[in-house]
């Protein structure tokens, strides 16, 4: 299994603003020279509807594609799957590649 890293959107915005990161064509390059193949993702923070976490998503990072496959509706930092509601943190999940 490959090492995966989650990059919160707020951190990535700051890094791009100060020039220490570049995101282009599914590739994130950090100023230290590290490169990652990335996909949009969400970290599931908590279930907030009181219905329980039947899908065992809390604490996990899932790509938007994976979540769409299970019927998730995402609006900013909220996610609905059926009647269950979750708080989420938008960002990117990345796998390192190239020279490290």
Average pLDDT score over the chain: 94
Supply 5's token pair.
Answer: 């890293």
Q: Which pLDDT does position 65 carry in this prediction? A: 96
- Split at pLDDT 50, 70, 90, the class of 1 is low
Q: Which pLDDT does position 3 carry in this prediction? A: 86
Supply 20's token pair.
Answer: 């220490």
Q: Which pLDDT does position 99 carry in this prediction? A: 62
Question: Which position has the token pair 């707020």?
Answer: 10
Q: Which pLDDT does position 32 carry in this prediction? A: 83
- What is the torsional sign of CA 58, 38, 18, 34? positive
> How confident is the model over 63-92, as pLDDT tens digits?
999 999 999 999 999 999 999 999 999 999
Find the mean pLDDT for residues 41-68. Answer: 96
Beta-carbon neighbour count of residue 33 at 10 Å?
9
Q: Which pLDDT does position 33 carry in this prediction? A: 85
Q: What is the CA radius of gyration of the chain?
A: 15
């Amino acid at each position: 299994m490959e090492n995966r890293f989650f990059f919160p959107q707020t951190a990535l915005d700051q890094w791009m603003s100060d020039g220490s990161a570049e995101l282009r064509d599914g590739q994130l390059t950090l100023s230290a020279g590290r490169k990652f193949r990335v996909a949009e993702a969400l970290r599931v923070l908590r279930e907030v509807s009181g219905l329980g976490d039947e899908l065992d998503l809390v604490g996990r990072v899932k790509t938007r594609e994976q979540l769409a496959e299970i019927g998730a509706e995402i609006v900013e930092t909220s996610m609905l799957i059926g009647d269950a509601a979750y708080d989420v943190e938008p960002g990117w999940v990345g796998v390192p590649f190239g020279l490290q």
